[in-house]
Amino acid sequence: MEECPRCGWPVTEAYEVLSRHLTSEGVVSYTRCACGEVQVRVQPYGPGEVVSASRGDNPPRGAPPRGTR
């Protein structure tokens, strides 16, 4: 099991997920450990895995929630 190099907290038990992004290589996750260390991880896509994202799923930042206009 991989652990935080600073405090030994298990990396698989991220204390706080700061953000996740789809990339051409896989999913990039920025997480914060219990000790405050920020870590960046890339989880590659599996063989034959198809990933898609629709621009309509997430409104732009600052946009009002749907149905409130």
Q: Which residues of 23-34 are buried (b: 16+ CB within 10 A; e: fewer)?
A: eeebeebebebe
**Angstrom distance (rounded) from CA 37 to CA 16:** 10
pLDDT(30) > 70: yes
pLDDT(2) > 60: yes
Question: What is the pLDDT at residue 47?
Answer: 78
Q: What kind of fold does domain 1-45 have according to CATH?
A: OB fold (Dihydrolipoamide Acetyltransferase, E2P) (2.40.50)
- At 68, the pLDDT band (50, 70, 90 cuts) reads low
Round to the nearest angstrom and report the end-to-end CA distance of the chain.
48
Locate the domains of the chain by residue range. 1-45
Would the pTM count as exceeding 0.75?
no
